[in-house]
A and B are shown apart, each in its own frame.
Chain A
C-alpha cells in the first residue's frame, strides 16, 4: 500500500512528482491576475505539509497547529512593524526559530497525553495564542490587525511588487526547499519510524525506538515549518490579522489536509488548492453563503470519497490494475 512505499523504493523523484512544480510555473505565466491567491495557496500548502508530517505520518491529531502559523506570522509582522527589521530572509529565520522553540516547549507538554486530552491541549494552546494576539493590542494591533509591515527586497534585489510576482516566486522557492527536506525526512529511517509509531506505539517502544523523543523532534520541526509558512503569509500580505491564529485556522488547515488526503504528502498540495480555489470562487459568486458550498463539498468527500481526493485517485488506479 501507499504507506509502505518507503520500504520498497529509493527516494528517487518520480515523474508525476514534478507535476505540481510545472503547474505552478505555468500558472505564473498564464494567470498573472491570480498570483495573489496563488501565493496564498503556496503558503497554505507549506502549512498543510507541516501538519501532514505530524498528523499523517506521526499520527498526532492536532486542532491547534495554527498556533505556530500565527506566531510565525506575528513574529515576522511585529519585528518588521515595531522593530524595523525588514529583511525577508532574516525574518523567516527568526520566525522559524521562535516557532521551533514554541513547538519544542509545547511538544514536551502535549506529547505526554493521548487522544481527546491531546486534542484539547493543542486546542487550548492555540486558543491561548489567539487570546494573546487579541488582547495585547499595543504590539499586535488586536482585532484591527497589525499594519505598517514593511518588507525590503529579497537579497536587496527583488522587490515585493503589487502584482505579487515576487511574493509568488518567493513562496514557491521556500515551498520547494521544504518539500525537498520533508520528502527526504519522510523516506528516511526517521520518517518510517514515525509511521511505525502511528501504527503501533507500544510495539515501536518495545523494539527500542525512543518514541517520545522522535515525536518531539517531528513536532518541533513541523512547528518550525508552520512558522515559516506564517512568516511567508505576512510577507505576501504585508499585514497580519487575527484570522491566522487560533482555533478556526487550525480547523481549516486540518480540513484542507483531510480533503486532499492524509499521510500522502501530495494530499497537502491538493487539499489547500481545491479548498482555497473553491472558497475564492464561492466567495465571489455568493459572498454571504460560501460556507454552504464548502460544507457540502466536505460532506460529499466524507460520504463518498474516503481517504480524501488522493484516496479516490488511488482506489481508481488500484481497480484498474486489478482488472488488467
Chain B
C-alpha cells in the first residue's frame, strides 16, 4: 500500500511538472489562434528554438542558468516579431488550408536548419550544480530541477493570468479574442496587439521548450513529434481560452506520466482516447469560446 502511495505521489509530481511545461508552451498558441484564427501548426518550432538556445548557452557559452532561461524567452520573442512581419502577415486572411501548408513549410525548414546546426542527436542539458540535487520533503526525495520547474511555472502562470485579467493590455486581448471586428471598431489596434501577443506567446513557447528541455527531448523532429500534444492541449482546453489549456495540460501531463509508469506497453494510446472522449463530450473544449 505504501509503495502504491509513493508511486501515486511521484506520478503526480512528475505529471504536474510535465503538464506545467506543456501549458507554458501551448498557452500562446491558444491565445493567438483564438485571436486571429490562424492554424499555426509551427508553434513547436518556437519551443524547439528555446530549447536549443538554452542548451547552447549552457554548454558552449557557459552562461548562468537563469540568464540562459531569460535569453530563450527574449531571443525567440524577438525572432518571432520578424517572422510575423515578414511571413505570417501574408497568411492572416488566407484560407485555412494555406495556413496549414505555410506552417508545415516552416516546420520542414526548421527541422533542416536544426539538423544543419546541431545534428540529429538529442541535446543533453547541462544543469547547474544547485539544480541537480534531490529535494527532501515529507521523507521523500524529489529532483530539485522538477521542483524548480513547478514553482517557476506556477509563478509565471500566476503573473500571466494576472496580466490578462487585470491590465489594460489583457483587457484588449480578451476583447479581441471575443470579437475582433468590434474591438477594432472601438479603436483597438488589433494588428499591433496581435503582433505583441504573438511575440509574447512565442517567447513563452521558447521559455517552455527551454524549461522542459530535460523532459521533452530537444531534437530536430521536435516540432512534428510534439505538435500533436500542443494541439491536444489547445483543443481540449478550448481555443482562445487562457485557463482551459492549463487544466488540459495538467490532465495530459499526469495521464501520460501515469501511463508510462503503470502501463508502458500502451504508450500514448490512452491520451488519444481521452482526447476523443472529451472533444465528443464538449466539442468546444473544456472552457472554449468558439470552434
Complex Cα distance, B265 from A116, in Å, reads 30
Whether B112 sits at the interface, judged by CB under 8 Å, is yes
A-side contacts of B115, CB under 8 Å: 288-289, 291
Contact indicator A120/B231 (Cβ below 8 Å): yes
The binding surface of chain A is classed by DSSP as: helix
Q: With a CB–CB cut-off of 8 A, which chain A residues contact B227?
A: 247
**CB of B232 within 8 A of chain A?**
yes
Q: Report yes or no: B90 in contact with A289, Cβ–Cβ below 8 A.
A: no
Interface string of B98-112 (1 = CB under 8 A from A): 101110111111111
Q: Is the CB of B108 within 8 A of A291?
A: yes
Q: 1/0 per position for B270-291, CB-CB distance to A under 8 A? A: 0011011001100111000001
Of the listed stretches A87-95, A170-178, A251-259, name the one at the interface; the rest are far from the partner chain. A251-259
B234-273 interface code vs A (CB 8 A; 1 in, 0 out): 1100010000000000000000000000000111110011
B264 to chain A, nearest CB (A): 9
A-B contact pairs, 20 of them (CB 8 A): A61-B100, A109-B280, A113-B279, A116-B291, A117-B279, A117-B291, A119-B39, A124-B276, A124-B279, A134-B267, A248-B224, A255-B100, A255-B101, A288-B116, A289-B115, A289-B116, A298-B104, A302-B94, A302-B102, A306-B94
> Count of B residues near A, CB < 8 Å?
48
Considering the chains assembled together, what is the distance between the CA atoms of A112 and B280 in angstroms? 8
Q: Which A residues from 247 to 272 make CB contacts under 8 A with B?
A: 247-248, 251, 254-255, 258-259, 262
From A132, which residue of chain B is reached at the shortest CB distance?
B269
Q: For the complex, what is the distance from the CA of A117 to the CA of B275, rounded to whole Å?
A: 10
A82 at interface (Cβ–Cβ under 8 A)?
no
Contact call A299/B235, Cβ cutoff below 8 A: no
Chain A nearest CB: distance from B40 CB in Å? 12
Whether the pair B228, A247 counts as a contact (CB closer than 8 A) is yes
Write out, one digit per residue, whether chain A residues 41-84 have a CB within 8 A of any chain B CB (1) or not (0): 00000000000000100000101000000000000000000000
Question: Chain B contacts of A254 at CB under 8 A?
Answer: 97, 100-101, 104
Q: A61-B97, A116-B235, A259-B101 given. 14 additional CB < 8 A pairs?
A: A112-B280, A115-B291, A121-B279, A127-B228, A128-B273, A131-B268, A135-B265, A251-B104, A254-B100, A292-B109, A294-B108, A295-B110, A295-B111, A306-B94
